[in-house]
Amino acid sequence: MSSAFWQLAPTAPDAAVAAQARHHQTQLTKPPGALGQLEALAITLAAQQGRVFPQLQRPWITVFAGDHGVCEEGVSAFPQAVTAQMVANFAAGGAAINVLAQQLDATLEVVNLGTVAPLPPLAGVRDAAIMPGTANLCRTPAMTTAQCTAALAEGDAAAARAADAGSDLFIGGEMGIGNTTAAAALASALLACDPAALAGPGTGLAPAGVQHKVQVLRAALARHGTDSEPLAALASLGGLELAGMAGAFIGAAQRGIPVLVDGFIATAAALAACRLQPALRPWLHFGHRSGEPGHSRLLSALDASPLLDLGLRLGEGSGAAAAVPLLKLACALHRDMATFADAGISGA
Ligand SMILES: Cc1cc2ncn([C@H]3O[C@H](COP(=O)(O)O)[C@@H](O)[C@H]3O)c2cc1C
Ligand SMILES: O=C(O)c1cccnc1
């Protein structure tokens, strides 16, 4: 049997380029380390992009959409129809991620992996529907292995389009009513933790609603059992857009494109992707700490320090997009500052 695409380990970011970039930072007209995380960002981007002077001119955003059968348990403050309605809003340019992408000069595409409500052909939306939403993960596996593998492959295809366009950064976003439940279920299985640590209000559940969500999640985990094998967990407890993001993150890294991870849901996908392919981890940056309370637990499981902490809790890739200006600034400082020698300034 031929091996699956995610089993191919991405090449490690280039350590020799990192050393050169680190040395260049010591030459710049500032006390060593005075630009803090912006220095580390430039060095890491250099190693990932394989050039001492990294660039951030062509960010790419793919938003994966999919519905969730678990919505029938009453786990979201919003009706399931909103997923397809928001896909139409993406096509019309009216969502938060449209505005952010426009401001950043980023390419934005939407991949529909399967909504319950049928969608007409829409500009900027790829119809890649695998099934009309997942099954109810509380009662039955969300997807078959084949459906999950197909969603992973759609993610890889998005990464291939990003690479063909010469993208220098990949952001994966998501839209799927109920997906904070799927993300919490998936991460609970992978981290072997009680879902109470990961369940939160999502789109705005009241405390009683969050308690009910915990009960639904415990039932899902009891059904699934203790199998933390990542493909099994992703298929059984995840969702189409979670698998799409996981495949895209691995595919981007395999093509030498750094990944900027968004909030709670994207981080759950990144956790699954790192379990599928551990060599992915050095390709990941984390845009922000979401207002969704379980995000901190996921970030620490990945040993990740997010760039921003603004209380965003939207998804769509928005928290990652909000951090792109910092990456651009890190690259510009690294490239454009004078060195001590250039400026005739004495070193320490
Ligand atoms: C209008 C609207 C736009 C959104 N954009 C992203 N989400 C976010 O909220 C959903 C997850 O929350 P829950 O699990 O509570 O349903 C996902 O679709 C996520 O992308 C939205 C939600 C709504 C209502
Ligand atoms: O952090 C996220 O990704 C998030 C949080 C709440 C709702 N939707 C997305």
**How do the domains of the chain map onto residue ranges?**
14-54+333-343, 59-326
Q: Which of 39, 73, 174, 316 is catalytic?
A: 316
Where does ligand 2 bind, in terms of residues with CB under 6 Å? Answer: 180, 202-203, 262-265, 290, 292, 295, 313-315
Q: What angle do CA 207, 201, 209 make, to 5 degrees?
A: 40
Q: Output the six-digit token pair for 36.
A: 């803090």
Asked: is 59-326 a CATH 3.40.50.10210 domain? The reply is: yes
Amino acid type, 42 = A
Asked if 316 is an active-site residue, the reply is yes
pLDDT for 2: 74
Asked: is 14-54+333-343 a CATH 1.10.1610.10 domain? The reply is: yes
Q: Is the pLDDT of residue 1 over 60?
A: no
The pTM of the full predicted model, rounded to 2 decimals, is 0.99
pLDDT for 236: 98
- Among 175, 265, 267, 312, which is best to mutate for testing ligand 1, by the most ligand atoms less than 8 A from CB? 175
Where does the pLDDT of residue 57 fall: very low under 50, low under 70, confident under 90, or very high at 90 and above? very high
CA-315 nearest atom, ligand 1 = 20
Q: Which ligand is nearest to the CA of 180?
A: 1
pLDDT for 128: 98
The DSSP code for 60 is E
Sorted by sequence, the CB contacts under 8 Å of residue 120 that are 6+ apart come out as: none
CA-290 nearest atom, ligand 2 = 1
Helix (H, G, I), strand (E, B) or coil at 66: coil
Where does the pLDDT of residue 348 fall: very low under 50, low under 70, confident under 90, or very high at 90 and above? confident
- Nearest residue (by CA) to ligand 1, atom 3, is 86
- Among 203, 313, 316, 318, which is best to mutate for testing ligand 2, by the most ligand atoms less than 8 A from CB? 313
Strand positions, DSSP E, the chain: 59-65, 107-112, 125-127, 169-175, 259-261, 284-286
**Which tens digits make up the pLDDT trace of 90-131?**
999 999 999 999 999 999 999 999 999 999 999 999 999 999
Q: Do domains 14-54+333-343 and 59-326 have the same CATH topology?
A: no
ipTM: 0.99
